[in-house]
Amino acid sequence: MRSALLFSAALAALALGAAAPAAAQQAGAQIDRFTYDDLIMVNRLSDPQVSPDGATVIYSVRATDLPNNRGVSSLYAQPVAGESEPRRLAISDGGANTARWAPDGKLYFLSGRSGSSQVWVSADQGASAAQVTDLPVDVQTYRLSPAGDRLAVALAVHPDCADLACSVAKTEAEAASKSTGQVYDRVFVRHWDTWADGTQNHLFVAPIGADGRAGEAVWVTKGFDGDTPSKPFGDENDFTFTPDGQGIVFSARVAGKTEPWSTNFDLFRTDLSGSGQFANLTDANDAWDAGPVFSPDGRTLAYRAMARPGFEADRYVVTLMDVATGRTRQIATEWDRSADSLQWSPDGRTVYVTAGDVGQTRLFGIDVRSGNVVPMTGPGHVGAFDLTPTGFVFSRDALDSPAELWFKTYRGREMPRQITRANPQLADEIFGEAEQFTFAGWNGETVHGYVIKPAGLAPGEKAPVAFLIHGGPQGSFGNGWSYRWNPQSYAGAGYAVVMIDFHGSTGYGQAFTDSISQHWGDRPLEDLQKGWAHALSTYDFLDGDRACALGASYGGYMVNWIAGNWNEPWKCLVNHDGVFDTRAMGYETEELWFTEWENGGPVFENPEGYERFNPVHHVDKWRVPMLVVQGDLDFRIPTSQGLATFNALQRRGIESRLLVFPDENHWVLKSANSLQWHQTVFGWLDQHLKAE
């Protein structure tokens, strides 16, 4: 533990970067502030994959092509030792993503260069490529077998078809039909941002021949009623080959007619024959089982398991299953954090996971025998990692830094070493000083928050404040980088930022996370009020008379809630995709398990639970100008919620503005739309907080 604490202390200065702005101000240097224009052009590093010999890491970098309103991804190779500059792989020219190493050192990846997304391979370290699959539908994701002689691919197919040819013909016939009506007899009717089209995600396995091309693909999940990978965000972590390469274990939920209110994901095992036989390995647990990973010796299957059915934000506990007997045991059960991104150590003695931890997201090592948990990284947010023979490569971002790759040996005392610099253009940017603080919130319990001082703020000067409220609500505004709600873009525009991780936030223990359910409007509001008061009394650069509250999703709900229950401090409000009517939301949203857990059951069984903290009942007290933002493809919090909010404001005669994106979902993803979003939001803030 001492070595971990030393590491944390040494990395703290890097994470919060307070020295550079102060030095620049003292020297009277020109301040080059980070702005939302800079944010949109930041290169996005992700997906580190270490070669079998541990010498090279391949990673993806997404650059912004603003004139063409798109992102452009490339693959880069970087020696883990860091003795030379990164090399952009030539295979990127035709489009390349999801690079994965084979045991023999060949590099597989996905590319659409043939007209559809297929698996390709490079045998010369990314200089050239050959096509591996030639399937009639897009490959969504894939996984190589342990020996590298088979390929599992995920395809969207019609489950009632006998084969791929039938599925393709059915899709083409539906596209050619002159009628456009869709008939449904079960939900999901739509999910996240797409309407159901009758297809499901299924797995196919093909051998890789001596010529490097995939042979005939066998539909190994045929007859299973469900999606694997799961929609909308599943990937190859939802499935894996058995150690002998003769079977597949996958995580999935049986759809049936209960899918929108079920979180019962189980682990299923099937052979490669397409027999339609599926052994449920975790049938005893009716909650979420995810992320199957076999130990290096193949004797143990590790996965992450929740305990409470219907609750998507329950704690994931690392669970080990004996492959021979099926017996399970959980490890680190007293560790009050939710495990994610599980990997085994090469010797099989440790599992490594990431987890939110008091405003950070760290990498932890868990001893599989004792359950002892050791933090491996310090401040900041670890987004992904991969293991080498001597240590691990991990991506780390923070409030003052987008993701970069670092290397750290398994020896605890060794400090990490940065091995990439994907955004050299930010070297001269000055970021706002960030500080984490605590105060006594609801029930007298400790609550954490962050304050960020605007870059270049003169001593004694006060700054207007952006009070940012995170979504989820089981989420966190901690020490991490965001490409949407980025507090440094506010600090660069001259705004101080205050963010509170209110009760319900993640990374502070499961009881803290649980406390928001059925309490959306009281406990978090009390934390926000007390956090705001604490920040004002502690940081003299905050101008409490010039402040705006902003939030998205649950944060947007809270903006609507405080509009009628705590509107005194605010000169303006910004609500992005926020809930206006919790009762209507209980019927309109797609993932019903969420609203039913958060409000104590379905609307028709517990209407009072939906009305207790319903913003619609407090519109008569609204008075503060509000900007409403809505994505028309947002099926999580549908457009009707945003329109109702705007109609209420207009009918009340309150200054208001509505920004609608017809081509965006719950998030704003397109570059030009992001630019418009920031221009509109910052224009709203300037109008109400900076106008003379």
Average pLDDT over every residue of 43-72: 96
**Is 167 a member of any domain?**
no
Residue pointed to by tokens 């009281």: 522
Boundary of a domain, candidates 426, 441, 461: 426
Q: What is the pLDDT of residues 245-296, one digit of tens each?
A: 999 999 999 999 999 999 999 999 999 999 999 999 999 999 999 999 999 9
Provide the residue type at 293 as one letter.
V
Average pLDDT over every residue of 195-212: 97
Q: Are residues 150 and 110 in the same domain?
A: yes
- Assess contact for 73 and 97: CB atoms under 8 A: yes
* Spatial separation of the C-alpha atoms in residues 157 and 143, rounded to whole Å: 18
Catalytic residue among 666, 671, 678, 688: 666
Q: Are residues 140 and 84 in the same domain?
A: yes
What is each CA distance from 399 to 329, 364, 382, 577, in whole angstroms?
37, 21, 12, 24
Q: What is the largest CA-CA distance in the chain?
A: 74
Q: What is the pLDDT of residues 96-130, one digit of tens each?
A: 999 999 999 999 999 999 999 999 999 999 999 99
What pLDDT, on a 0 to 100 scale, did the predictor assign at position 5? 33
What pLDDT, on a 0 to 100 scale, did the predictor assign at position 514? 98
Average pLDDT over every residue of 592-610: 98
Average pLDDT over every residue of 539-543: 98
Q: Are residues 363 and 453 in the same domain?
A: no
pLDDT of 354 over the 60 cut: yes
What pLDDT, on a 0 to 100 scale, did the predictor assign at position 4? 36
Helix (H, G, I), strand (E, B) or coil at 375: strand
Q: Are residues 417 and 505 in the same domain?
A: no
What pLDDT, on a 0 to 100 scale, did the predictor assign at position 411? 78
Helices then strands (H, E): number in the chain?
13, 38
Boundary of a domain, candidates 403, 426, 449: 426
Domain that holds residue 598: 433-689
663 is catalytic: no
**Is 385 a member of any domain?**
yes
* CATH assignment at residue 289: 2.120.10.30
Catalytic residue among 111, 381, 634, 688: 634
Three-state secondary structure of 386-429: EECCCEEEEEEEECCEEEEEEEEECCCCCCCEECCCCCHHHCCC
Average pLDDT over every residue of 18-29: 40
The pLDDT-based confidence of 344 (bands split at 50, 70, 90) is very high
* CATH assignment at residue 671: 3.40.50.1820
- Give all strands (DSSP E) within 132-254, no chain letters: 141-144, 150-157, 190-191, 194-195, 200-207, 218-219, 239-241, 247-252
The pLDDT-based confidence of 30 (bands split at 50, 70, 90) is low
Helix (H, G, I), strand (E, B) or coil at 222: coil
**Is 484 a member of any domain?**
yes
C-alpha angle 402-382-240 in degrees, rounded to nearest 5:
120
Q: Are residues 223 and 306 in the same domain?
A: yes
Q: Are residues 273 and 373 in the same domain?
A: yes
Q: What is the pLDDT of residues 626-644, one digit of tens each?
A: 999 999 999 999 999 999 9
Q: What is the pLDDT of residues 449-497, one digit of tens each?
A: 999 999 899 999 999 999 999 999 999 999 999 999 999 999 999 999 9
Cβ-proximal residues to 686 (8 Å cutoff; 6+ apart), any chain: none
**Is 171 a member of any domain?**
no
191 is catalytic: no
Radius of gyration of the CA atoms of the chain, in A = 25
Q: Are residues 456 and 408 in the same domain?
A: no
* Spatial separation of the C-alpha atoms in residues 287 and 365, rounded to whole Å: 25
The pLDDT-based confidence of 412 (bands split at 50, 70, 90) is low
* Spatial separation of the C-alpha atoms in residues 428 and 53, rounded to whole Å: 36
**Token pair of 123, please?**
């045998």
pLDDT of 3 over the 80 cut: no
Nearest to 312 by CA among 346, 264, 267, 256: 264
Three-state secondary structure of 262-285: CCCCEEEEEECCCCCCCEECCCCC
* Spatial separation of the C-alpha atoms in residues 81 and 314, rounded to whole Å: 39
Q: What is the crossing angle of helices 523-538 and 554-565, to 10°?
A: 80
Q: What is the mean pLDDT of the chain?
A: 94
**Token pair of 318, please?**
């690392």
- Through-space distance between the first and last CA atoms of the chain, rounded to whole angstroms: 54
* Spatial separation of the C-alpha atoms in residues 539 and 561, rounded to whole Å: 26
Catalytic residue among 553, 656, 671, 674: 553
* Spatial separation of the C-alpha atoms in residues 281 and 630, rounded to whole Å: 42
**Is 179 a member of any domain?**
no
pLDDT of 13 over the 70 cut: no
Nearest to 491 by CA among 32, 39, 33, 42: 33
| Residues linked to residue 397 through DSSP beta bridges, in sequence order | 381
* Spatial separation of the C-alpha atoms in residues 34 and 76, rounded to whole Å: 26
* Spatial separation of the C-alpha atoms in residues 31 and 19, rounded to whole Å: 14
The pLDDT-based confidence of 28 (bands split at 50, 70, 90) is very low
Q: Are residues 16 and 109 in the same domain?
A: yes
Q: What is the pTM of this model?
A: 0.94
Nearest to 163 by CA among 198, 136, 197, 132: 136
| Peptide bond between residue 416 and the one before it cis (omega within 30 degrees of 0) | no
pLDDT of 1 over the 90 cut: no
Calculate the CA dihedral of residues 577, 579, 580, 583 and round it to 10 degrees: 150
Average pLDDT over every residue of 432-443: 98
What pLDDT, on a 0 to 100 scale, did the predictor assign at position 26? 42
**Is 437 a member of any domain?**
yes
Q: Are residues 13 and 134 in the same domain?
A: yes
Average pLDDT over every residue of 300-304: 98
Number of domains observed in the structure of the chain: 2
Q: Please report, rounded to a whole number, the percentage of residues in the chain having pLDDT higher than 90.
A: 93
Cβ-proximal residues to 122 (8 Å cutoff; 6+ apart), any chain: 89, 91, 106, 107, 108, 109, 128, 129, 130
Q: Are residues 386 and 457 in the same domain?
A: no
- Assess contact for 265 and 282: CB atoms under 8 A: no
Q: Are residues 421 and 449 in the same domain?
A: no
Boundary of a domain, candidates 397, 426, 455: 426
What pLDDT, on a 0 to 100 scale, did the predictor assign at position 84? 82
**Is 172 a member of any domain?**
no
Q: Are residues 406 and 444 in the same domain?
A: no
Q: What is the number of other CB atoms lying within 10 angstroms of the CB of residue 125? A: 17
pLDDT of 342 over the 70 cut: yes
* Spatial separation of the C-alpha atoms in residues 295 and 300, rounded to whole Å: 5
**Is 173 a member of any domain?**
no
**Token pair of 460, please?**
């004694």
What pLDDT, on a 0 to 100 scale, did the predictor assign at position 268? 98
Q: What is the pLDDT of residues 222-231, one digit of tens each?
A: 999 999 999 9
117 is catalytic: no
* Spatial separation of the C-alpha atoms in residues 689 and 548, rounded to whole Å: 8
**Token pair of 25, please?**
């101000």
